[in-house]
């Protein structure tokens, strides 16, 4: 038992923790964006299929759940830069992990955003004049992801991770 | 992590997109006005050029322009629209929904025919309730009508014997004695509806989603309200016709409504979304002593509930049902316009009938 604990403790290095943070940031935010885009994209494709002139409006609204994936990717790259610098202590690794979790979990808002985008695309199809107004509704779930992203970057900066 | 978030939203989002596109193509009152003002059936057909119905009308023109072909073309359009939406849904929901939508239409058609036979209606404006798109009817109604010409009750009985071999036969056969005793088609209708809801519930339970089951429960509530009001207003014993498993109207509420006068219904139903509409339905019935008015009011209630839920949860079964109800109404109006143009009715008469049915 003591051997296993020793082995596990030996495995938990700054690099391992930081790499876990990268994985969470990129995978969770990426998966959520993919699901959000599946929802909004399905609606966008269907309304374009019904009426070609819906394409331009649908495209703008459909693409918004993509941003969470970008946030996850940026945070992932920043942590990776820290790993590449070779100065990843256990403390810095933990900060990297926290940043990854923050941006990854808040990135789940992409799924809700996809649903809002889908409803907005439907509403715009019926009344094209409201395309600017519905954009505000779609941006709302983005705020959670944005807060997560800013917090994660601040964590990385204050912890001098990269 | 709860993996239900990775569930069937994609399918419903796809269906929602198709619906949104189709909804934007539905006719508004201006289009209907121009169709109503058309001078002939051919002019109505010409006005439909470049619309959703273009392809269907071309088929009619290439065959023969008559009411039957036009009705078939409109039914085909309805079927095509529904199937296009069902094809992108999760398999279980698609199967259950297609059964509920198509079977209900067939049933409404069958019930309207039984009523028509019972009242011995001729081909007049009173036949307006006859216009319902129907899909997979196993019954050749035209052939049966040409063979029936007896008195009222025998007409209905003969009709039932003619549909031997279909799934409706035994349900109707079992209630013939009750029908004769009461001199009212209610036992026959309720038995058909009971069979339909039972089948729908079985399919929804086995294959459908939670949303579909909830919709079915609301439907049962509305059916029970129709039965209760119809039974009370016509003094028909109806306790046996009430269905279990409603959403708001459980056994306790049904028992309360059974004991109460229709005037108190809205008070008892205050906890549910049905209260105001029930009052309106009673008033609508009392205005002309018309069962059709009562049913239209309660169907409107069902439509409003669906529409409201569709607005709150666009990626759900309610958006689909809301569109289907709108499409059905559009097709029904087109059928009416074609039929009345053929009969030579004035634009004003057509307008009145259509607005009455909205």
Phi/psi region, residue B121 (left: phi>0; alpha: psi -120 to 50; beta: rest), is beta
Residue A22: pLDDT above 60? yes
Find out whether B215 and B240 touch, Cβ atoms under 8 Å.
Answer: no
pLDDT at B3: 40
Please spell the DSSP secondary structure of B327-343, one letter per residue. Answer: HHHHHHHHHHHHHHHHH
pLDDT over 70 for what percent of chain A?
98
Please spell the DSSP secondary structure of A98-132, one letter per residue. Answer: HHHHHHHHHTTHHHHHHHHHHHHHHHHHH-GGGHH
Distances (CA, A) of B117 to B112, B141, B143, B144: 9, 12, 14, 11
> Of the candidates A52, A1, A36, which has an alpha carbon nearest to the alpha carbon of residue A114?
A36
Find out whether B191 and B174 touch, Cβ atoms under 8 Å.
Answer: yes
pLDDT at B283: 81
Interface test with B, best of A32, A47, A114, A137 (most B CBs within 10 A): A47
Considering CB atoms only, which of A46, A51, A119 is closest to B14?
A: A46
Q: What is the pLDDT of residues B234-276, one digit of tens each?
A: 788 777 888 888 898 888 888 888 888 888 888 888 888 888 8
Interface test with A, best of B13, B19, B27 (most A CBs within 10 A): B13
Q: Is A106 on the interface with B (CB under 8 A)?
A: no
What CA–CA distance (Å, rounded) separates B280 from B299?
Answer: 12
Look at B314 and A119 and tell me if their CB atoms are within 8 Å.
Answer: yes
Number of C-beta neighbours around residue B50 at 10 A: 7
Q: What is the pLDDT of residues B71-86, one digit of tens each?
A: 888 888 998 999 999 9
Considering CB atoms only, which of B11, B17, B319 is closest to A121?
A: B17
Residue A154: pLDDT above 90? yes
Worst-scoring range by mean pLDDT, A102-106, B80-84, B133-137, B284-288?
Answer: B133-137
User: Which pairs from B187-191 meet CB under 8 Å and 24+ separation?
Assistant: B187/B241, B188/B114, B188/B156, B189/B111, B189/B114, B189/B115, B190/B227, B190/B238, B190/B241
Mean residue pLDDT of chain A comes to 91
Q: Which residues 80-99 of chain B have a CB within 8 Å of chain A?
A: 88
Mean pLDDT of B143-158: 70
DSSP label at residue A159: T
pLDDT at A151: 97
The encoded tokens of residue B90 equal 């999760």
The encoded tokens of residue B45 equal 């057909």
Q: Is B312 on the interface with A (CB under 8 A)?
A: no
pLDDT bucket at B358, cuts 50 / 70 / 90: low
Find out whether B48 and A154 touch, Cβ atoms under 8 Å.
Answer: no
Which chain B residue lies closest to A44 (C-alpha atoms)? B17
Considering CB atoms only, which of B11, B18, B319 is closest to A50?
A: B18
Residue B133: pLDDT above 60? no
Find out whether B13 and A42 touch, Cβ atoms under 8 Å.
Answer: yes
**Cβ neighbours of A53 in B, within 8 Å:** none
Find out whether B20 and A62 touch, Cβ atoms under 8 Å.
Answer: no
What CA–CA distance (Å, rounded) separates B299 from B307?
Answer: 12
| Reported ipTM | 0.73
Provide CB contacts within 8 A for B100, sequence distance 6+. Answer: B200, B203, B204, B212, B216
pLDDT: which is higher, A127 or B131: A127
Worst-scoring range by mean pLDDT, A147-151, B147-151, B163-167?
Answer: B147-151
Look at A111 and B5 and tell me if their CB atoms are within 8 Å.
Answer: yes
Considering CB atoms only, which of B6, B11, B20 is closest to A121?
A: B20
What CA–CA distance (Å, rounded) separates A162 from A92?
Answer: 9
Interface test with A, best of B4, B21, B311 (most A CBs within 10 A): B21
**Cβ neighbours of A47 in B, within 8 Å:** 17-18, 20-21
What CA–CA distance (Å, rounded) separates A58 from A66?
Answer: 14
Q: Is A25 on the interface with B (CB under 8 A)?
A: no
DSSP label at residue B168: T
Look at A46 and B17 and tell me if their CB atoms are within 8 Å.
Answer: yes
Find out whether B308 and B314 touch, Cβ atoms under 8 Å.
Answer: no
Q: Is A43 on the interface with B (CB under 8 A)?
A: yes
What CA–CA distance (Å, rounded) separates B61 from B42?
Answer: 9
Find out whether B316 and B11 touch, Cβ atoms under 8 Å.
Answer: no
Considering CB atoms only, which of B6, B13, B23 is closest to A43?
A: B13
Longest dimension (CA), chain A: 69
**Cβ neighbours of B88 in A, within 8 Å:** 46
pLDDT at B129: 40
What CA–CA distance (Å, rounded) separates B153 from B80?
Answer: 38
- State CA B83 to chain mean position distance: 17
Considering CB atoms only, which of B19, B21, B315 is closest to A54?
A: B21
Three-state SS sequence of B198-264:
HHHHHHHHHHCCHHHHHHHHHHHHHHHHHHHHHHHHCCCCCHHHCCCCCCCCCHHHHHHHHHCCHHH
Find out whether A93 and A80 touch, Cβ atoms under 8 Å.
Answer: no
pLDDT at A16: 93
Residue A132: pLDDT above 50? yes
Q: Considering just the CA atoms, what is the radius of gyration of chain A in Å?
A: 20
The encoded tokens of residue B196 equal 């339909």
How many angstroms away from the CA of B6 is the closest CA of chain A? 7
User: Which pairs from B51-55 meet CB under 8 Å and 24+ separation?
Assistant: B51/B25, B51/B27, B52/B22, B52/B25, B52/B77, B53/B77, B53/B334
Q: What are phi and psi of B33, to 5 degrees?
A: -60, -45
pLDDT at B93: 86
What CA–CA distance (Å, rounded) separates B99 from B120?
Answer: 31
Q: Which helix (H) or strand (E) holds A65?
A: none
What CA–CA distance (Å, rounded) separates B169 from B195?
Answer: 11
> Of the candidates B262, B111, B294, B306, which has an alpha carbon nearest to the alpha carbon of residue B189?
B111
């Amino acid at each position: 038992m003591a051997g296993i604990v020793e082995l596990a403790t030996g495995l938990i290095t700054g690099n391992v923790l930081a790499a876990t943070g990268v994985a969470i940031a990129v995978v969770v935010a990426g998966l959520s964006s993919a699901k959000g885009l599946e929802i909004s994209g399905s609606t966008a494709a269907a309304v374009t299929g019904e009426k070609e002139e819906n394409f331009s409006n649908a495209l703008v609204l459909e693409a918004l759940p993509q941003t969470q994936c970008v946030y996850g990717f940026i945070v992932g790259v920043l942590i990776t830069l820290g790993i590449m610098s070779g100065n990843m202590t256990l403390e810095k690794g933990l900060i990297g992990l926290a940043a990854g979790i923050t941006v990854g979990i808040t990135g789940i808002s992409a799924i809700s955003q996809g649903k809002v985008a889908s409803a907005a695309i439907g509403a715009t199809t019926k009344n094209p004049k409201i395309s600017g107004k519905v954009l505000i509704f779609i941006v709302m779930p983005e705020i959670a992801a944005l807060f997560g992203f800013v917090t994660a970057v601040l964590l990385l900066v204050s912890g001098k991770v990269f | 992590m709860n993996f239900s978030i990775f569930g069937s939203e994609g399918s419903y989002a796809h269906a929602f997109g198709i619906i949104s596109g189709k909804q934007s193509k539905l006719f508004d009152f201006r289009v209907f006005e121009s169709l109503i003002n058309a001078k002939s059936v051919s002019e109505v057909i010409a006005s439909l050029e470049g619309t959703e119905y273009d392809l269907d009308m071309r088929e009619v023109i290439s065959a023969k322009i008559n009411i039957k072909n036009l009705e078939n073309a409109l039914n085909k359009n309805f079927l095509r629209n529904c199937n296009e939406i069902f094809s992108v849904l999760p398999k279980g929901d698609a199967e259950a929904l297609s059964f509920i939508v198509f079977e209900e239409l067939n049933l409404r058609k069958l019930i309207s025919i039984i009523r028509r036979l019972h009242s011995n209606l001729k081909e007049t404006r009173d036949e307006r309730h006859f216009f319902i798109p129907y899909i997979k009817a196993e019954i050749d109604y035209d052939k049966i009508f040409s063979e029936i010409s007896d008195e009222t009750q025998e007409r209905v009985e003969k009709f039932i014997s003619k549909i031997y071999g279909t799934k409706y036969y035994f349900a109707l056969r079992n209630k013939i004695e009750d029908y004769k005793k009461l001199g009212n088609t209610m036992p026959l209708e309720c038995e058909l509806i009971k069979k339909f809801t039972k089948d729908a519930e079985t399919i929804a339970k086995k294959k459908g989603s939670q949303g579909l089951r909830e919709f079915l429960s609301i439907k049962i509530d509305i059916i029970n309200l129709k039965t209760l009001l119809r039974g009370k207003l016509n003094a028909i014993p109806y306790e046996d016709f009430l269905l279990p498993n409603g959403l708001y109207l459980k056994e306790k509420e049904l028992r309360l409504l059974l004991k109460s006068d229709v005037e108190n219904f809205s008070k008892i139903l205050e906890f549910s979304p049905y209260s105001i509409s029930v009052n309106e339905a009673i008033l609508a019935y009392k205005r002309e002593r018309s069962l059709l008015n009562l049913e239209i009011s309660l169907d409107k209630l069902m439509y409003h509930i669906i529409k409201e839920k569709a607005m709150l949860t666009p990626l759900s079964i309610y958006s689909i049902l809301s569109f289907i109800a709108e499409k059905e109404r559009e097709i029904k109006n087109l059928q009416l316009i074609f039929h009345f143009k053929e009969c030579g009715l004035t634009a004003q008469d057509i307008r009145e009938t259509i607005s009455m049915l909205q």
